[in-house]
Structure 1
Amino acid sequence: MSTGRGNIPEEVIEAVLRQHDIVDTVGKHVHLTKQGKYMKGLCPFHSEKTPSFTVTPERQIFHCYGCGKGGNAIKFRMEIEGLTFPEAVKMMAEEVHIPFDFGVGGGGESSRNPELEQLLQAYEWSAKLYHFLLKNTEHGKPAMDYLKSRGFTDRAIDTFQIGYAPARWDTLVQFLDKRSFDLGAMEKGGLLSSKHDGTGYVDRFRDRVIFPLHNRNGKVIAFAGRILGEGQPKYLNSPESRLFTKSRILYNLHQAKSEIRKTRQIVLFEGYGDVISAWEAGVHNGVATMGTALTDSHAAMMRGLADEAIVCYDGDQAGQAAALKSIPILETVGFTVKIAILTEGLDPDEFIQKYGAERFKLQVLDGAVSSVKFKLIYLKKNHILLEEAGKVAYIKDAMEVIAPLPSPTEREIYLKELAAELQVSFDSLKQECNEKRIAMQKKTPVGDNKDKRWNNGRHKKGQASMPTLLPAYHVAERRLLSFMLQDEEVARYVGDRLGDHFNIDDHAAIAAYLYAYYAQGKTPDASRFISSLQDERLEQTVTSIAMMDTPVWSDQELDDCIREIKKVPLTDEIKQKKEEMVAAERAGDFMRAAHIASEIIALERQ
């Protein structure tokens, strides 16, 4: 699978790797402890209790023996922040002031791609047109009146580049056509729609307030439109395109990311209206998903910037149910999760308009409760606590939340609150909790993390009860490649005697890449070599091989490995000849059988 490196020069990639030490890069997200020449920690990509995530400072690579992820500092940033290769390199270059003028599009592809460059240009100009029409024309006056009635200030309208698409069918069609944009490409990119009869194009957005959507680098890549007056659909987003993927875009991330990085906290809203109101109220670390539920990609992207997530969804039943669903997604990637409680069923925008900015920050955000506390509040609504049966049912449900908590202190705090709230004995609740834990432990399947069982089925490949014994030639190929990664002289020696005649296709490909790498005059450097590869599977294989402990090589050991590798095609050929000899004997062709027997003897001598 190509990793989409765009047109970034190799010297920029190498400078980025030199300036970003793997231990510093990983250490911002993983607590590492020194073990000999390695650093160990709990893997941030899957849940585990025993550290299998290993960093090798000497070779500037990481590798997890549990889930198999591995690579260099750039690869780590890609995985932890949900970035493409060009996005990660650009971000890392900017952080250490390395000049970077190779544009990156919304999907992380080089903006030297003419089609994407044209589409990005079209979105930027369209956003400016819509914003101008809102602020400076009679057409835009009803939309401006609507925004002012909703509490949007002129400053917010400018900050978020809010605009208006007129009710006409061809405002944008004419605007783009006059500027020689390919209208077919504009339709594919989500700005226009095809006419039903296929004779041309019409504006996709008509009589709507327009909210531009930006990628994390601040480029406009899509629009969200809210209809003025009556009509369906009330909200309309750009369709997904090469620039815009809903599961990878968060509204306002481009403006909020500096504050999020500074505070290590992110506030997650349901809609762009809430984000804008909160921004005006002084909350500058807020983002929202765009017309889709929170995804694993969103969570991974946010986790690269923050440690704590405050979920601030609508106060009605639907909003609170969505907040509940977000908890495991956020906790799985390692967030400390808090949930904001909004009274009277209000959404954040309504709360700010009604009670003001200070009360929103103090009561709603600062008063956000832990995920456990929220689950207990949510469960309580389903029971009538004035009745004994309701109390018993609530306690049973509450134990499902409290008993799995790994910390005895945390369990005790919640049990004491429950005892006081329901006026029941703390000791009886504690006993019930302990019984629940014993029952859970008996049911828990074997896995790498009993407290986070989501992982146990998902990562079975790291939990095999018996390690798979690799064939001798496979071990020899890995060992040889390990030596070759460390020493150019070994690569020359192997190249002369074996070339790319490895038995495993991936190993043959890695050897070919290594010969080419050294032919360019480069020195042994596992991290640098990994960046030269164009295939994710090969990257992981090289990372795994580079982590091997290999002693200083000798000619004898290299020859032993080469001999083991060369034996495989001979052994296969001998096996095939023996089958042919048996077939000749059965057919009564003893002359042929004798001839094949002499060939087998010659092969066995080799």
Structure 2
Amino acid sequence: MASGHGNIPEEVIESVLARHDIAETVGRVVHLTKRGKYLWGLCPFHSEKTPSFTVTPDRGVFHCFSCGMGGNAIKFRMEIEGLSFPEAVKIMAEESDIPIPEGKGGVLSASDPERDRLIQAYEWSAKFYHYLLKNTEHGTAAMEYLRSRNFSDKMIDQFQIGYAPDRWDTLLQFLEKRNFDLAEMERGGLLSARGEGKGYIDRFRGRVIFPISNRTGKVIAFAGRVLGEGQPKYLNSPESKLFNKSRILYNLHQSKASIRKTRQIVLFEGYGDVISAWDAGVHNGVATMGTSLTENHMAIMKSMADEIVLSYDGDRAGQAAAMKAIPLLEGNGLRVKIALLPSGMDPDEFVSRYGGDRFREQVIESAVSTVKFKLIYLKKNHILLEEDGKIAYAKEAIEIIAMLHSSTEREVYLREIASELDLSYDSLKQDCNLLRASMQKNLPEGDINDKRWNNGRHKKGQVQTPTLLPAYHVAERRLLSFMLQDPEAASYVSERLGEDFNIDDHAAIAAYLYAFYAQGKPPDISRFLSSLQDDRLEKTATSISMMDTPPDWNVQVLDDCIREVRRFPLQRRMELKREEMIGAEKNGDFLRAAQIASEIIALERQ
């Protein structure tokens, strides 16, 4: 992901880095352990069992020695949450109450014109659909549907709900009149292609439109609910350069202030639930985009909250989804509670029938622990009036309770079951203790058994195998390592070598470094990384900054490295000349071979 500064002033970027400690930023997602000058953990960007991911607090950088990922706190948030550089800076600035000066707010104007045009198109399309819903005959039936769902005018406006008429070209004409490129609009998910060379039609037709915004509040996609009968019932915008449903939580842009204040997120299954809950006073609610929880969703939530309240539907499917989500969330170090609803009822229906106050007090604020929920869920699978059902339930319940570390918690739940089933507490406790002893004995060996939650985010990725680097490559890295630590070393290399590094990335890093110091800035790897405009350069510079190069240097060391760097192109030319000479000899052109031999001797002298 290439970074672009947009219109963000340098002082804002520097303030963001100063206020967001790298160890704290990374520590919200990765369990870190101090070892020497580094903090170590399991890399969140690829799957591994032995920690090779490091954080260096005094340099403000993270780096994985296996997969090569690295950068500063801004880069970490970008990669974990799927943000562009400007988006990450804006979010981090908001979190630290760092003002972005007037006239400098074009933070989303990164170096991607198509992305900017799509955002503009979605923003205007959302306003257009909202207008059609509220002010035209097209929207009458949709408005009646929303009223039947108890959506007030205030909520319709707050969530910018709209309506796409059941016609082929309503939005098409709207976008055409505003000179948008229709092929771009199709790639962005607003239009659909009729077929090869046959033009375009509206993607959303005859649907109530729920705009989906990113964390900064820009509309980046739509969810359309069909009006009346029809399939699919819900239609989302397709994946695009704006929209990736595995990285987006519906309503996060409006709920983030309440989430930060409470350190709690209420997670719903659908848009309607979020909107009804907001009307009921639950302002920290979000929903996934018609998909199950992903690692990215959990990383975003973990960066903002400590506790998740799952408010899924009260039917079997909703409860099964909650059961599936619990280990994922807890596995990422989040506390989890479950909001209980009457069987078959969803949050939207509960608010409509019983009102917002009862929903807040009896559902959200009365959410139960995951153990309590698992026991309730388990109980529904057994007939407790029969002895076999009672014994089977007690056995399975003990398996859940035995997992608890706290003996007090275990006692509370065991006494509840003993009372409920009219069984002896002592016998249940004995069975539980025997099971715990068996579990301890059978724990698999490994380096991360007690850090199970730190495994949750790992994505399978290509791990780089360390290779022996050629001498000139090592010399270039060593020079850059000295230069990153000392402007005088950079000045010395600039005068004698300039940008004549053999490896393009090294030459680019050197050029950026000369410019960085020319602005009078002190050595600071974290701030320097933010001046780079390329993802690969950031990784390379971070890797070089991790070298154990002593901060003090002398002219002899730099000269030796420079000589090695300059020697390589000469050696390469000599190799090519030798190949050319052999070719000339094979062809019987001995005069040309002798001429090349003299050229090789001249190169050797150099």
By how many angstroms is 1:350 displaced?
1.0
Contact 2:52 2:65 in 1 (8 A): no
Contact 1:22 1:73 in 2 (8 A): no
Q: Take 2:286 and 2:496, find their aligned partners in 1: how far apart are those partners?
A: 58
By how many angstroms is 1:258 displaced?
1.2
Could you tell which deviates more after superposition, 509-518 or 241-250?
509-518
Cross-structure match for 2:553: 553
By how many angstroms is 1:511 displaced?
3.8
Could you tell which deviates more after superposition, 555-564 or 90-99?
555-564
Contact 2:71 2:538 in 1 (8 A): yes
Q: Is 1:286 aligned to residue 290 of structure 2?
A: no
Q: Take 2:69 and 2:450, find their aligned partners in 1: how far apart are those partners?
A: 18
Contact 2:66 2:463 in 1 (8 A): yes
Could you tell which deviates more after superposition, 200-209 or 267-276?
200-209
Q: 1:563 to 1:167 in 2, by over 3 A?
A: closer
Q: 1:168 to 1:462 in 2, by over 3 A?
A: closer
Contact 1:252 1:288 in 2 (8 A): yes
Q: Is 1:120 aligned to residue 119 of structure 2?
A: yes
Could you tell which deviates more after superposition, 281-290 or 555-564?
555-564
Q: Compare relative contact order (CA 8 Å, sep 6+) and give the higher one, 1 or 2.
A: 2
By how many angstroms is 1:558 displaced?
3.4
Deviations 1:573-598 (A, max 9, x none): 99999999xxxxxxxxxxxxxxx999
SS at match of 1:133: helix
Contact 2:485 2:551 in 1 (8 A): no
Cross-structure match for 1:590: none
Match for 2:428: what amino acid? S
Could you tell which deviates more after superposition, 385-394 or 92-101?
385-394
SS at match of 1:151: coil
> TM-score with structure 1 length normalisation?
0.80
Cross-structure match for 1:110: 110
SS at match of 2:99: coil
Cross-structure match for 1:85: 85
By how many angstroms is 1:568 displaced?
7.7
RMSD value over aligned CA atoms?
4.8
Deviations 1:549-569 (A, max 9, x none): 524222344345556777888
Could you tell which deviates more after superposition, 344-353 or 375-384?
375-384
> TM-score with structure 2 length normalisation?
0.80
SS at match of 2:225: strand
Cross-structure match for 2:588: none
Contact 2:50 2:447 in 1 (8 A): no
Q: Take 1:461 and 1:117, find their aligned partners in 2: how far apart are those partners?
A: 32
Cross-structure match for 1:437: 440
- Out of 417, 425, 430, the residue aligned to residue 427 of structure 1 is 430
Match for 2:430: what amino acid? D
Q: Take 2:165 and 2:461, find their aligned partners in 1: how far apart are those partners?
A: 55
Q: Take 2:25 and 2:194, find their aligned partners in 1: how far apart are those partners?
A: 52
Contact 2:43 2:458 in 1 (8 A): no
Deviations 1:322-348 (A, max 9, x none): 222223443344322222222222111
Match for 1:361: what amino acid? R
Q: Take 1:35 and 1:293, find their aligned partners in 2: how far apart are those partners?
A: 34
Cross-structure match for 1:587: none
SS at match of 1:343: coil
Q: Take 1:573 and 1:414, find their aligned partners in 2: how far apart are those partners?
A: 78
Contact 1:448 1:455 in 2 (8 A): no
Cross-structure match for 1:356: 355
Contact 2:267 2:311 in 1 (8 A): yes
Q: Is 1:240 aligned to residue 226 of structure 2?
A: no
Q: Take 2:330 and 2:130, find their aligned partners in 1: how far apart are those partners?
A: 39
Match for 1:175: what amino acid? F
Alignment of 1:562-601 (within 5 A): none
By how many angstroms is 1:151 displaced?
1.2
Identity rate, percent = 61
Could you tell which deviates more after superposition, 122-131 or 290-299?
122-131
Alignment of 1:493-572 (within 5 A): 493-495=492-494, 507=506, 509-515=508-514, 517-518=516-517, 522-549=521-548, 550-559=550-559, 561=561
By how many angstroms is 1:282 displaced?
0.5
Q: 1:303 to 1:36 in 2, by over 3 A?
A: closer
SS at match of 1:247: coil
Could you tell which deviates more after superposition, 24-33 or 279-288?
24-33
Q: 1:19 to 1:455 in 2, by over 3 A?
A: closer
Match for 2:101: what amino acid? P
Could you tell which deviates more after superposition, 284-293 or 40-49?
40-49
By how many angstroms is 1:253 displaced?
1.5
Q: Take 2:227 and 2:150, find their aligned partners in 1: how far apart are those partners?
A: 16
Cross-structure match for 2:71: 71
By how many angstroms is 1:359 displaced?
2.0
Alignment of 1:314-353 (within 5 A): 314-353=313-352
Q: Aligned pairs, how many?
A: 594
Q: Take 1:164 and 1:408, find their aligned partners in 2: how far apart are those partners?
A: 55
Deviations 1:156-182 (A, max 9, x none): 112112222233333333333444444
By how many angstroms is 1:297 displaced?
1.9
Q: Is 1:2 aligned to residue 5 of structure 2?
A: no
Cross-structure match for 2:585: none
Deviations 1:6-55 (A, max 9, x none): 5336xx13442145415546536738999899684867948999896534
Gaps of 5+ in 2: 581-595
Could you tell which deviates more after superposition, 152-161 or 293-302?
293-302
Cross-structure match for 1:156: 155
- Out of 4, 10, 13, the residue aligned to residue 13 of structure 1 is 10
SS at match of 2:281: coil
Match for 1:98: what amino acid? I
Could you tell which deviates more after superposition, 259-268 or 413-422?
413-422
Q: 1:293 to 1:598 in 2, by over 3 A?
A: same
Q: Is 1:131 aligned to residue 130 of structure 2?
A: yes
Could you tell which deviates more after superposition, 13-22 or 297-306?
13-22
Contact 2:328 2:456 in 1 (8 A): no
Contact 1:61 1:543 in 2 (8 A): yes
Q: Take 1:225 and 1:489, find their aligned partners in 2: how far apart are those partners?
A: 60
By how many angstroms is 1:454 displaced?
3.8
